Each structure stands twice: as structure tokens, then as C-alpha cells.
Chains A and B, each alone.
Chain A
Amino acid sequence: MTTTQILNPTAGPTLGGPNGLAAHSHVGGRTVRTSGVASHLHPVASSDVADHPVPTSKSELWKFAPLRRLRGLHADAEFTVGALTATWDAIDGVDVRVVSGAAGRALKGASDYLPTDRVTARLMEYNPDTLLIDVPADSTITEPVVVTIDGADASIAEAAHVLIRLGDHATATVVLKEQGSATVAHLVEILAGDGANLNMATIADWAADTVQLAHHHISVGRDAKVKHSLLTFGGDVVRTAVDVDYRGPGGDLEMLGLYFADAGQYLEHRIFIDHTPPNCRSEVLYKGALQGDHARTAWVGDVLIRAMAEGTDSYEMNRNLLLTDGARADSVPNLEIETGEIIKAAHASATGRYDDDHLFYLQSRGITPEMAKRLVVRGFFHEVLNKVGISSVIDHISDTVERELAISGM
């Protein structure tokens, strides 16, 4: 059975309504959390919008983003009743539904998330409907849960909240497909219970007029395993921040990213992994290609290994391939480490053009220059795609990459 439901069909409840955020202690209706780490990368987390001034191009976390093209989403654009729809096929054993009103508010911050920027603070205050994907404890769901989020109107500002919740020792695969025209602030909370195993992919393939400011928060349970893939293609401006916390030792996180920016497009990915419990692992691999005038991407990674996080094993890698003139890729892999008792902490970043040796080798085998370039790009992305491990997603992405390459006549 396929279900399509409009998200936010009515205005959100008035502020100050019932609030069931059990995980936080509220003082005067305001919850604040400092990272405890002195660095320009860590704003104070707070539920109060007033604690998050409107970012400017000088704000550390917003300095790459084209603020003028965000239609006020980062500032005070008023969220309105929405045109976004969510569509999914029912799968036995998985509870997928839209939760609104007070019940929906109770789900905001269910992953112990507190906003670190204005847009998500405003989103949580506004309380849009929550698309809940609930997998009960101890269940194993083999078929991927696929939810398509479709935008229909880029002229209004909307907010959306998704909560993916896996109970202890549950196993599931979840795919979020984002498409259509929208101006949307988006919060995706991912809560993996102890010993849970989640493979999750987000395909952001928006129409060319879409502006999206997304925030993913991943809370990894004790001994849980989470694979998080983020595949970004469409849209005018798409900025996704991913924050990761571990709730206990033994958490294992693999993050994969693939993005393709065309002329005039701006795609940004910001990753923050907070290693607090000991013996957790994080491995990040993001690859991007850029083509056309003013194609821009920014990738900012930050791995924080706190003093108590002994036995941490962390690796971050970002690679960018510039296919034509006029494109620009920023890549900033940060590391903040407070203990020497770790297994490994390393990162690497590389940006460049085609490897001339590769092209020469292929051409010496009789392959045309165009085809040789195509093969190099396919090979470049292959490493990421191979690891995603969801066949429908791999097919979709392969097709999209071919479509992108056709744009530059390859």
C-alpha cells in the first residue's frame, strides 16, 4: 500500500504548547548545552532562537554559504503551511506515519538533539509535522524502507522533521529521496538503539530552484552500527550539516558522501563527529565532482576526540574532482584531539583535475579522450558507490552520474 501525505497541512500549534522533551531539563523553558571545548567550531547548543543570532558571511560556520540566495531561511523567513508531501510503501514491521501537534512536538529532539544554529532552533520552535520511521527493538527488516519527499512550491518557506528510530538490536535499511521544488529547512534525527544496525541513504536530487538547509543528527547507541550515505545532486543551494554523537562504547559509524555540482550550484556538507565514549569508530569518505561556471562546493569535517574517548579510531577523507574551468571546491578537514590514548586519528583531503597519466593510459588503449574522462569519473565515484550497499540507490546514483556527465558533453 502506497501512502502519500501532505506534511504540515495546517499551521503548527501555538508556541508554549505541550512539550515532552524528556531528555532535556528545562530551566525557564530554555535548554542550553556547551560543548566544553574551546574552539571556533563549536557554537553553544540552545533551544532558544534568541541564542542564535542571524549568521553573517563572517560567521565561522556560514562563511562559505551564499547567504543572499537562502531566501531568508538562515534568518527569519516565516515558515508557512506546506506543500511538501511524503510518499512511502508500507512494509511489515515498520511504523511509518506523520505525527503532528503536541505528539509531534514530543518527537522533536528525540535523539537528544539541541539546535546549534538559528534555522534548526526556529524549526523546532515552529514544530512542523514529524515523519516518523519507527523500527521496533529486536526486529530485522530486510526490505529497504523508501520514503520520497516531494516539494511543489519553492516560493514559500517550509520546515520538515524526520525521525528515524531503531530500537535496541533492530536492523533496517532506510532511503530518503528528496525531490521537487522547495525552500525548506530540514531536520533529520537518526536514533540507533544499542546494538542496532542501520543503513541509511539520503538522495538529495532537488529541482534546480530548491534551497535546502538540512541538519542530520545521528545518535549511535552502544555497539550500534550506522552507515550514513548522503548523495547530493540537485538544487540551487543545498547545505547539509551532520552531527554525530555516541551514547556508549563500541559504536561504529561509516559515513559516505557523493556530490556533483553543476554551473551556478552551491553544495555544502559539514560534518561534526563527537567522540566522547571510548572505543568507538568513525570513518568518513566524501567525494565530489564539479563542472561549469560558478559550480561551488564546500566540505568541512570536524572530528573531536575528547579526553575520555580512549581507543578511538577515526579517519576522514574528502576528494574533489574539478572537471571544467570556473569551478571552486573548498575542503576543510579539522581534527581536535584531547587524548593520546587512541588507535588512530587521521584525515586527508585532495582536490585536483583528471590525472593525466590515467587519461594517457586509457587513450593509449584506443579509448577516445571523452570516454577516457568518463571512465575516470566513474572510477572516482565507484569507491563510494560500492560501499553504499543498497542496490536501488546504487542504480539511481549511477544513472544520475551519467546524466550529469552528459551535461558537459562527455
Chain B
Amino acid sequence: MTAAPELSEARLAQAETIDALSTYQFGWSDSDAAGTTAKRGLDEDVVRGISHLKNEPEWMLERRLKALKLFERQPLPTWGADLSEIDFDNIKYFVRSTEQKVTSWEDLPDDIKYTYDRIGIPEAEKQQMIAGVSAQYESEVVYNSIREDLAQQGVVFLDTDSGLKEYPDLFEEYFGSVIPAGDNKFSALNTAVWSGGSFVYVPKGVHVKIPLQAYFRINTENMGQFERTLIIVDEDAYVHYVEGCTAPVYRSDSLHSAVVEIIVKKGARCRYTTIQNWSTNVYNLVTKRTKAEEGATMEWVDGNIGAKVTMKYPSVWMMGEHAKGSVLSVAFAGKGQHQDTGSKMLHLAPHTSSEIISKSISREGGRSSYRGLVQVNPGAHHSRSTVKCDALLVDTKSRSDTYPYVDIREDDVTMGHEATVSKSSDDQLYYLMSGGLTEEEAMAMIVRGFIEPIAKELPMEYALELNRLIEMQMEGAVG
């Protein structure tokens, strides 16, 4: 493609714009008091130790031990990103940052408070934007509050460890019911050593009007974070759960392997939003899946900006008639990053529908891959599915892949898949600049426009954060 000479500079400015989106903003770390004492490597003793420290019921210990065996037996996946550099013996599987959980901000240790101040948790809470805050710091939830009116409605929003203690029956019924330990190597690992995460129960007919938010941070070098989240949305209820991740930069590779299980009952709706911004030495290998019953709706909004390697395919199993699943996904792959993301939609009942919209930007040698599966099983007649993938490549050394799988075992279904890979067009730039915008402004606008369908689905403060990142870089570029 030929470009006018003055526009080749614009391409450079565009690279900076993209750069701004994924510049890691939270690259500090606190003194590491809790982490250095934790043991590296994984064996039965570590698993028993975790379970003992948490004072868990016997059945949970048995699950953990069984999962450990499955983990040891299963091979690493041969597809997707390169995982060969993960050294499972050099990872700390459990770190406890404070012995006691605290219920108010003032009671948090100073260094933890400082870290959170930098992300802005207290402000967010003051603004009443957050219905309940569950901040995970070094494997365990240390700060947890929930608004009283929600509690009065019967909404449960706890860390997963407390959930297990306070609601053992619900827990035993649903834990591992959506993602069994043996589902894949990393779900087995998580089941063996899980710690922290959120437990949410929304009773029948209750609409939680404001998003439930949890902030996660990894703060110990080489420490795996294995949070386990279980969300149950009872009939005709609604909840929007928001998970956001930021992590300090460390020298060697760290592992994050979460499991998120969601059950959306008849007629209910759940939205789960993630903005993942791990530092670029983290392996982010996450299993997320929902079972959606009759008439239920599940929406995943998934942003992947950080991490060295991400493998994440939020899934919806549409179990009942007229169930719906949707995934909105945006990924940024910068230098040294591989974002292998997508979605799995399993149509298991008639009249179910699914939609996947995936957008990715690759730059500076980064690689983004869309990898998805749409499966229509026998009996799921009149199902519909559409998949749309757009990728923006901004230089000649980055890579974008699309690996969509469509597996149809039923007639009377309608499927569509589309993908386009493009380079930001010089025509678009020219048009915007002819309207009086500078090159930098025009570039920022093109990038914002590209991610707009995702950004507009984000809670306000997240969308603001995303836009602010673009603007900050633009200011520098113009100056």
C-alpha cells in the first residue's frame, strides 16, 4: 500500500496512540513482607496446608487432592500460546497478606492502602459507584464491604472463603458444577489450590442496580493467584459483576489462573465485565463458564490489555430454550504479548442464540489471536449465532490470527462468521485532518472509534479510564 509521505509520520503517531492504551500505569510494588516466606512448588502438603489454614470442610480437601492428581496427569495444551516457560516448581501457591480480614478502610495495613490509593478504590466507593468492594491482595480478600440495602435484599457478596463457611449447602451444590476440576489442566490447578475470589448470590427477582466490583492484585513475585469465583443468579434476577486487574511489574514470570463459574437461572440475566491489565510478565490462564437456563441471558464483556500471555475463552452453555449468550471482547497485544482470547458458545437447547464480537489491536510485534467455538448440538434447532472479528494491525511486524470453530450437529440453524483484518486507513486520516484535526487527534479518534462498540458497554469509570489512557499519550505526542 502506498502512502503519501506526510502520512507515514501519522502511522508513527498511531503506534504511539496504541502504545498509550497498553502502557502499564501501575508499575510500582510494595515491600514484600508476606510473600518471601511462602513456599515454592506444589505437592500434596501444600494443598493440605492451604485447606488446613482455611479450616475447610473435609469434602473440599478431598476435591482439592483429587484435582491435584488431575493437574499432574494432564498435559499442557498443545495449541494456543507458548506455555513451555512456566516453571510450576518456582511458583508460590498460597500467600496470606494479613491474618485477619478487616471491614473498614482505615484498618488496612499502610502499604496495602497505598497500593489501593494509587488505583483509586476509596474514591470510587465514596462516589457510591460501587455497590460492594471486595479487594483481593495476595490471595486473600482482606477488605470487604457491602451496602446495607443490598444485604437487606438478600444479596450475598462475599469472598469465596467466607462463602464456603457461611453457605456450605449452596457451595457444595454448585462448586465445580459448571467447570469440573478435570476440564483442563489449569482448572485442575485452580481447584487444587484456589484461594480468594468472590461468591455472589442474587435471590429470585432481585435486580442489583449498580455494578458489584472487585479489584484484584498480585503483589508477590512468582506468586500464582488462583482465585475462584462462584456467582449464582436466581430466577428473574439481575446482576452486573465487574472484575478489574492491575499488577506491579516484576522480573520473572508470574501465573494467574482463575476459575469463574456462573449459574444464571430461568429468566435471569448476568453481565460479567473484566478489564485485565496484568503487568507483561504474567501468564493469565483463566477458565470462565456460565450455565444459562431457560430464557436466561449471559453477557461477558472482556478486555485484555496486559499480561505476557492470555488464554481466556469465556463460555456460555445454553442449557434451556431461548437462552442467550454474548461476548464482547477487546484485546491489545503489544511488544512481547500474546493475547489468545475468544469465546465458546454451546447451544444445547432449541431457540438459543449467541453473539460474539471480538476486536483486537496488535502492535510492536505483539500477537493477538481470536480463537472461538460455536457448537450447535442435536436438538438445538432454530439456534442462531453470529461471530464478528475485527483486527487492526498498525505495523508490519505484529500478528493477528483468527481461528474460529463452528460445529453444527443440527439443521434449522443459522450461523454466520465474519472477520476482517485491516490497517488504519490513510483515507480515514486524511478525512479527519481535512476537518481540522491534528494527526494525533485523528489517530486517537480512529482507535477510539475502533474500540467504541466495546467501550460503550463498560461501566462509566472503566470507559473513562480507557479514554484517559488514550488522551494522556496524545497530549505528549502533540507537545
| Chain A interfacial positions (CB closer than 8 Å to B) | 38-41, 60, 307, 310-311, 320, 322-353
Contacts and interface: CB of A to CB of B under 8 A. Distances in A.
Nearest to A299: B406
Contacts of B401: 39, 334-337
Interface in B354-403: 362, 391-403
A337 B406 contact: no
11 contacts: A330-B408, A333-B417, A337-B401, A338-B399, A342-B1, A344-B420, A347-B402, A349-B416, A350-B416, A352-B414, A353-B414
A325 B382 CA distance: 12
A328 B408 contact: yes
Given A40-B79, A339-B396, A340-B393, A330 B407 contact: yes
B74 interface: no
Contact of A351 (B391, B405, B413): B413
A310 B412 CA distance: 41
B169 interface: no
Given A307-B397, A333-B404, A348 B421 contact: no
A336 B393 CA distance: 12
Given A325-B411, A330-B405, A335-B419, 7 more contacts: A60-B79, A327-B411, A328-B407, A340-B422, A340-B423, A349-B406, A351-B414
Given A38-B82, A337-B401, A343-B1, A332 B406 contact: yes
Given A342-B423, A347-B419, A337 B399 contact: yes
B411 A322 contact: yes
Provide the main secondary structure of the chain B interface: strand
A311 B1 contact: yes
Contacts of A335: 400-402, 419, 421
A-B pairs, 3 with minimum CB distance: A340-B393, A322-B411, A340-B423
B397 to A, nearest CB: 6
A334 B411 contact: no
A346 B1 contact: no
Nearest to A345: B421
B418 interface: yes
B415 interface: yes
B127 interface: no
Nearest to B80: A40
B78 interface: yes
Interface string B405-447: 1111101111111111111000000000000000000000000
Contacts of A333: 402, 404, 417, 419
Contacts of A352: 413-415
Given A341-B423, A348-B419, A351-B415, A334 B402 contact: yes
Nearest to A331: B406
Nearest to B82: A38
Contacts of B392: 340
B150 to A, nearest CB: 44
Nearest to B420: A346
Contacts of A325: 411
Given A311-B1, A328-B408, A351-B415, A337 B422 contact: no
Interface residues of B, number: 38
A257 to B, nearest CB: 17
Nearest to A339: B396
A331 B404 CA distance: 8
Contacts, number: 122
A280 B402 CA distance: 20
Most buried by A among B79, B412, B421: B421
Interface of B: 1, 78-80, 82, 362, 391-409, 411-423
A335 B369 CA distance: 9
A41 B79 CA distance: 9
A310 B396 contact: yes
Given A340-B393, A346-B420, A351 B408 contact: yes
A310 B406 contact: no
A346 B422 CA distance: 9
Given A344-B422, A350-B415, A352-B415, A307 B396 contact: yes
B404 A334 contact: yes
Contact of A353 (B393, B397, B413, B419): B413
A148 B409 CA distance: 35
A339 B394 CA distance: 8
Q: Chain B CB within 10 Å — which of A40, A307, A339 has the most?
A: A339
B354 to A, nearest CB: 14
B399 A328 contact: no
A307 B402 CA distance: 16
Given A310-B1, A350-B416, A340 B411 contact: no
B396 A353 contact: no
Contacts of B404: 332-334, 349
A41 B407 CA distance: 18
A129 B82 CA distance: 43
B391 A337 contact: yes
A78 B420 CA distance: 45
A339 B415 contact: no
A38 B81 CA distance: 9
B419 A324 contact: no
A344 B420 CA distance: 8
B413 A340 contact: no
Contacts of B82: 38
B406 A339 contact: no
Contact of B408 (A60, A329, A336, A342): A329
A339 B408 CA distance: 33
Nearest to A338: B399
A353 B132 CA distance: 47
Nearest to A311: B1
B1 A341 contact: yes
B394 A340 contact: yes
Nearest to A60: B79
Nearest to A334: B403
B228 to A, nearest CB: 29
Contacts of A320: 408
Nearest to B1: A341
A66 B421 CA distance: 34
Contacts of B422: 340, 344-345
Contact of B415 (A327, A334, A342, A349): A349
A328 B406 CA distance: 10
A322 B412 contact: yes
A367 to B, nearest CB: 21
A332 B392 CA distance: 21
Contact of A349 (B1, B400, B413, B417): B417
A337 B362 CA distance: 10
Nearest to B382: A353
A351 B78 contact: no
Given A38-B82, A347-B419, A340 B396 contact: yes
A348 B411 contact: no
A337 B400 contact: yes
Given A40-B79, A337-B400, A345 B420 contact: yes
B401 to A, nearest CB: 5
A307 B367 CA distance: 13
A324 B410 CA distance: 9
A351 B406 contact: yes
Contacts of B402: 333-336, 347
Contacts of B409: 328
Contacts of A326: 411
